[in-house]
Structure 1
Amino acid sequence: MKTTSPAERDIQMNKATGRDTRTAVLKRSIRANVPLRKTFVQAPRGAVSRHGPLKEFVTGRDLRGLKAYLMIVAACSNGTSGWSTTHDSAVWARMMDIFETATDQSARTGAWRTLRRLEKRRLITCHRASTKITVTLLREDGSGQPYDRPRGDTEEDRFLQIPTTFWTKGYDEALDLPGLALLLVVAREKNWSTFPADKAPKWYGWSPDTHERGLKKLLELGLVERREEYKKAPLSPLGMTMAYQYQRTTIIRPRKPRKQATSPATASPVKKNVATPSRSEGAR
């Protein structure tokens, strides 16, 4: 029976995990929420097809690719390096949790192949120099157009937000592909919206069964909450219909930015000999 030496145990205990790596990447991006254009999930009304690039991940069963893409958006979308980020291929592999099931070289190869799939979908460009890989964001709709920060002033530019705690707390690790896809779908809509499974093929491009399994997974993990909505239906046997409405729970909603306290050095000086208005005077 093979035994592990104290030195080997110490190395294993102090080696960075995939979550450690993702957390470090997010900390460097200095943001509480990650913006993602809604066109990644679903095309705007009036388009020939309502399907967004998300469909290809779901129908292609590419969970690793979807998780990698969302992390790339998180790493690049602050714009500090021109919408790009560079890491050693081993870091990319650890970020994608590939080292858990592969050797060093196989993990590096797997990371590169994953990035190349995203490039073929026209969501990123990637360049490899020795062991370093540089990834640059493209627009989330899969058009291949250069990326720019979404501002939300048009329908094509509206965006959802993913809190960084989604990664740092490990919620991403618990989700399967239907669950992650439906989390993005729910995040795209207003609170307490309905998500009928029979509309999934037309609206998103996947099956009703996948749609229902995704919502069920989110409920099991406590990432969404559900309530019943009743409407009058004069021609139905009961005279009414019932549909479920969903919204994200608090733990997965966007974080509000912290208010910075004004330091004494930057506070506006109070002028002497000037009467301070009372609360009633200033409230008008």
Structure 2
Amino acid sequence: METRDRREEALTHLRGAAAKSQRSGNVPFPPAFVIAAAGQDTPPPLARMIQGGQGGAVRLALYLCITMMATSKPYDLKAPPIPKSWARMLALDPGTGARRVSRNLKWLADNGFIKLEPRWGGAPAITLLSPAGSGGEYVRPIEQGRYIGVPIEFWTQGWLLDLSPTAVALLLVLLNELGGKDKPRYVTAEKRHRYGLSSDTWTKATKELVQHQLLRVGQETQGSFYEYERRRNTYWVEVERLKEQP
């Protein structure tokens, strides 16, 4: 099957999963998923999840889909797709996709993001756990106060399929930074460190989001007339663009 055909099949499956979940509006994620607490040396869950090349891409896509699909307590998928079906939903290569899915579902379970329970005659049931990767119970982010809202069209328009994992990560980071703001925002060096994304990753992901018209990068001057002035980048996510096709 050609790559284009795989994408169209994947889009059909993603739209079916979204319809079955009866999602509308935004899918919520907690800030703690994308940013480490002040003074914490370890990378936040999102940065850890995307490490490892292509493996990171699959595990992030799986996690985002599971979060979108598990809508009510106990936030589980009692009859989830089998690995081959997951591979179709993510437009993975038919020859290796199922193995990659199985390997990365195990990674998510081993790292405390989901629980896998054997099920007779089918794929293991999946229960969503704390986005912190602690193995604790999942609590809806909207019950905890502020949250990052990702439009359902991220899935139904196929952005999940077209964006690299680093671009997806930066998108979530900037949605967190801009939450409730009405103008472009500068991200301090201290904040960037807490997000756990390298400068190279930040630069490449920025370029990708700009190319997709999802991100607008501006500049502002720091310092007064009597001080050293320097220009710094500001960021604004074009959220409405997510509701259109890539």
Larger gyration radius, structure 1 or structure 2: 1
Identity among equivalent positions (%) equals 24
Q: Distance in 2 between matches of 1:50 and 1:56?
A: 9
Does 2:172 correspond to 1:178? no
Q: Distance in 1 between matches of 2:110 and 2:192?
A: 23
Does 2:140 correspond to 1:149? yes
Indicate conservation of the 8 Å contact 2:148/2:176, yes or no.
yes
Aligned residue runs from structure 1 range 205-244, under 5 A: 205-233=196-224, 234-236=226-228, 240-244=229-233
Q: Distance in 1 between matches of 2:22 and 2:215?
A: 26
Secondary structure, counterpart of 2:29 in structure 1:
strand
Aligned residue runs from structure 1 range 120-139, under 5 A: 120-129=110-119, 130-139=121-130
- Unaligned runs of 5+ residues in structure 1 are 1-12, 255-284
Secondary structure, counterpart of 1:119 in structure 2:
helix
Q: Distance in 2 between matches of 1:246 and 1:152?
A: 28
Alpha-carbon distance change, 153 to 122 in structure 1, aligned in 2, over 3 angstroms? closer
Aligned residue runs from structure 1 range 260-275, under 5 A: none
Of structures 1 and 2, the one scoring higher in RCO (CA 8 A, sep 6+) is 2
Tell me the alpha carbon deviations over residues 217-272 of structure 1, each in whole angstroms, 9 at most, x when there is no partner. Answer: 11111111222222334332xxx222121121032579xxxxxxxxxxxxxxxxxx
Does 2:37 correspond to 1:44? yes
Indicate conservation of the 8 Å contact 1:179/1:218, yes or no.
yes
Aligned residue runs from structure 1 range 98-137, under 5 A: 98=92, 101-103=93-95, 106-129=96-119, 130-137=121-128
How far the C-alpha of 1:19 sits from its partner, in A, is 1.4
How far the C-alpha of 1:112 sits from its partner, in A, is 1.7
How far the C-alpha of 1:102 sits from its partner, in A, is 2.6
Deviant stretches of 4+, over 6 Å: none
Q: Which has the larger share of helix?
A: 2
Q: Distance in 1 between matches of 2:30 and 2:160?
A: 19
- Unaligned runs of 5+ residues in structure 2 are none
Q: Distance in 2 between matches of 1:95 and 1:209?
A: 30
Letter in 2 for 1:43: A
Which residue pairs with 1:69 in the alignment? 63
Secondary structure, counterpart of 2:142 in structure 1:
coil
TM-score normalized by the length of structure 1 = 0.72
Tell me the alpha carbon deviations over residues 176-209 of structure 1, each in whole angstroms, 9 at most, x when there is no partner. Answer: 122111011111112422235x557622223211
Does 2:84 correspond to 1:93? no
TM-score normalized by the length of structure 2 = 0.82
Q: Distance in 2 between matches of 1:68 and 1:168?
A: 15
Which residue pairs with 2:238 in the alignment? 249
Indicate conservation of the 8 Å contact 1:58/1:206, yes or no.
no
Tell me how large the CA RMSD over aligned residues is. 2.6
Indicate conservation of the 8 Å contact 1:96/1:111, yes or no.
no
